[in-house]
């Protein structure tokens, strides 16, 4: 999967910056435990950490095309991710006269650029973020995949930019301070609200999904190379079901290539179960058997309590799928009390506060999975494209004119300290972010009522909530050197589903009814009919008490930096009640996030600039 970083400046000589680039890349060693490299020139310095999954012998980076000794390469590439159609592109490029020294998709991307220029990016199918330095024009191109599955951050400095797969690589540069302003704090105090491209740290941006950032002597420019196209859906329901099955099957099949062990994550829900069934069937054609892994918490048999997002325990459904499909299955059991101690590692994986134990449980699952495999398939994205969350149906019946997952919060500012409320109005921030997001929705002429609203909801989901989930998945997996592939985020499937009407997606009267119908023949009936149940998190009294004790320690420390930001009396009241632990997403449990906020201010030395 890899981590990339670099520094471009047209007015400085960067050819002696090897130690700095090595240090910047080293911050992402977990992303790339299998190798590292640096490439230097007067105005561009590139660094790379490699997780070797395909073409282990010749896929090292930074990569330049083969050429005569002593000649400058036309381009240099540092790449993170996977291009699933690299075989087809390699064959086409070979017909056009290109010679390849290995089998890596990185070399294909480099050769594709030399053949088609920026037009090559439209041809890529996969998840990726890469930086390409064109030595001929001294131009840097920062490119991110269509859905934003893989991250890429950048900041302007001098006559150029500094970039990296994660904020930590950029912050390792001595000219980039760790600062946060009101806009960044607003993003942290809300969930899945921030606009695409905003990097939380002051002055830090993300390359937007489906975009290219071009840096040359004339400055910085942005170009979108992909967007959803709105059109009437002309297939009837049976044809739609068949096309979804075909597209999903193709996506899963294309993502099975790996020169190292590959497994699948299994929760017993329709999303992961569909991926498992399709992958197992494809692997069986070659005589291989799929291994699956699932997460559970010790004591969940007695501790589990149903709530708005967690309607049933995963374990019985996991066993049903593994037995029906015939996988080599392993359960990963996590002690809930360990979640508190892992809040800090989860923070360092994100480089900023996340969603507490919701992050940690994923981090621990991936840590165990990495002991056995370097690549995992995941069902992430199905809820976002098929309408799986409870708020989809609610919005179809009673539109809220808000971000659906945030509509239930009455007073966001109640959690802020009095001094912070003078500089920051979270309700106004959310309202403004919602207006901006709504203006981006590509409309269909004549669409009205529930159909119009549901198109808005799906666009909000794809452009705001899904990136939050993908970011979480990337950080928690790559902190363990594990690549997680997400077949539901294949852009060809997404493009098709974008125009499928809501009544089709909810066929049969159940959330994700279209997906259930498309894979019903592959799975046990009880799994096909199982209602949506969210990723498990800690329910045990011991864990909840540990959270309370930790927060009490923080608020009792007059030097705790977080006290300048939060409403301390409200926090104390929350500690003494269960209001912070409602099992809903409005908002996620607040106290674990507060712990991470305090850790972040301390460990990263973040300066608040208001």
What DSSP character marks residue 147?
T
Is 2 part of the annotated catalytic residue set? yes
Cβ–Cβ contacts within 10 Å for residue 598, how many? 23
Q: Determine the Cα–Cα distance for residues 533 and 9; give it in Å rounded to an integer.
A: 49
Query: Maximum distance among all alpha carbons in the chain?
Result: 71
Burial class (CB in 10 A: 0-12, 13-18, 19+), 135: middle
H helices present in 461-589, as ranges: 466-478, 491-498, 502-505, 513-519, 525-528, 541-555, 568-575
Residues 244 and 238: their CA atoms lie apart, in Å, by: 10
CA dihedral 227, 229, 235, 236 (to 10 degrees): 90
- Whole-angstrom Cα distance, residue 313 to residue 16? 56
Nearest to 50 by CA among 10, 123, 1: 1
Give the strand pairing for 153-157 and 35-40.
unpaired
Q: What's the full length of the chain, in residues?
A: 610
126: closest CA among 103, 101, 102, 109? 109
| Rounded distance between C-alpha atoms, residue 187 and residue 202, angstroms | 12
In angstroms, rounded to a whole number, what is the distance separating the alpha carbons of residues 107 and 77? 9
Peptide bond into 121 cis (omega under 30): no
Structure tokens at 6: 């670099």
Residue of 2, 131, 334, 514 marked catalytic: 2
Nearest 5°: the CA angle 178, 180, 182 is 175
Distances (CA, A) of 515 to 273, 459, 496, 548: 11, 19, 13, 41
How far is C-alpha 297 from the chain's CA centre?
Answer: 24
Helix H or strand E segment including 278: helix 270-284
Spatial separation of the C-alpha atoms in residues 111 and 108, rounded to whole Å: 5
CA dihedral 593, 596, 601, 606 (to 10 degrees): -80
Taking the C-alpha atoms of residue 442 and residue 458, their distance in angstroms, rounded to an integer, is 11
**Which residues participate in catalysis according to the annotation?**
2
């Amino acid at each position: 999967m890899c981590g990339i970083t670099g520094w471009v400046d047209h007015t400085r000589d960067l050819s002696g910056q090897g130690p700095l680039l090595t240090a910047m890349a080293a911050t992402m060693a977990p992303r790339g435990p299998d190798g590292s490299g640096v490439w230097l020139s007067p105005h561009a310095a590139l660094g790379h950490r490699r997780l070797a999954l395909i073409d282990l012998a010749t896929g090292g980076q930074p990569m330049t095309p083969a050429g005569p000794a002593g000649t400058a390469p036309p381009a240099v590439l540092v790449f993170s991710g996977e291009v699933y159609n690299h075989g087809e592109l390699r064959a086409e490029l070979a017909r056009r006269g290109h010679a390849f020294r290995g089998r890596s998709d990185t070399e294909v991307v480099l050769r594709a650029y030399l053949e088609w220029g920026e037009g090559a990016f439209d041809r890529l199918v996969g998840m990726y973020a890469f930086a390409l330095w064109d030595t001929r024009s001294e131009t840097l191109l920062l490119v991110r995949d269509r859905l934003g599955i893989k991250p890429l951050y950048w900041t302007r400095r001098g006559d150029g930019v500094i970039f990296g797969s994660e904020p930590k690589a950029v912050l390792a540069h001595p000219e980039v301070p760790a600062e946060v302003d009101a806009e960044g704090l607003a993003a942290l105090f809300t969930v899945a609200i921030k606009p695409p491209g905003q990097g939380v740290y002051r002055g830090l941006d993300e390359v937007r999904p489906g975009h290219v950032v071009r840096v040359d002597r004339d400055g910085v420019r942005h170009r979108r190379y992909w967007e959803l196209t709105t059109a009437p859906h002309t297939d009837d329901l049976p044809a739609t079901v068949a096309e979804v099955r075909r597209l999903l099957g193709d996506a899963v099949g294309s993502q099975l290539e790996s020169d190292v062990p590959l497994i699948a994550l299994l929760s017993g829900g329709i999303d992961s179960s569909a991926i498992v069934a399709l992958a197992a069937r494809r692997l069986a054609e070659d005589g291989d058997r799929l291994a699956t892994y699932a997460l559970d918490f010790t004591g969940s048999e007695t501790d589990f309590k149903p709530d708005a997002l967690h309607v049933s325990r995963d374990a019985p459904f996991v066993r049903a799928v593994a037995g029906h499909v015939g996988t080599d299955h392993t359960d990963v059991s996590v002690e809930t009390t360990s979640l508190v101690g892992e809040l800090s590692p989860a923070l360092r994986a994100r480089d900023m506060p996340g969603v507490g134990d919701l992050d940690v449980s994923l981090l621990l699952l991936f840590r165990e999975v990495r002991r056995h495999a370097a690549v995992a398939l995941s069902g992430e994205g199905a809820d976002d494209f098929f309408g799986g969350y409870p708020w989809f149906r609610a919005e179809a019946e009673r539109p809220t004119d808000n971000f659906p997952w945030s509509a239930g919060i009455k007073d966001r500012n109640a959690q802020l300290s009095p001094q912070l409320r003078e500089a920051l109005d979270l309700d106004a921030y959310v309202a403004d972010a919602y207006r901006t997001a709504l203006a981006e929705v590509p409309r269909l002429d004549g669409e009205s009522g529930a159909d119009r609203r549901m198109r808005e909801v799906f666009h909000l989901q794809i452009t705001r909530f899904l990136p939050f989930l993908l970011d979480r998945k990337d950080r928690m997996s790559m902190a363990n050197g594990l690549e997680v592939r997400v077949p539901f985020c294949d852009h060809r499937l997404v493009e098709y589903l974008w125009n499928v009407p809501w009544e089709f997606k909810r066929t049969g009267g159940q959330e994700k009814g279209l997906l259930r119908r498309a894979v019903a023949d592959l799975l046990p009936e009880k799994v096909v009919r199982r209602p949506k149940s969210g990723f498990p998190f800690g329910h045990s009294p011991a864990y909840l008490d540990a959270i309370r004790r930790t927060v009490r320690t923080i608020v009792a420390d007059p030097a705790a930096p977080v006290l300048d930001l939060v409403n301390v009396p409200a926090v104390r009241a929350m500690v003494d009640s269960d209001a912070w632990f409602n099992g809903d997403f409005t908002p996620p449990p607040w106290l674990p996030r507060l712990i991470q906020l305090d850790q972040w201010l301390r460990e990263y030395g973040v300066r608040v600039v208001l």
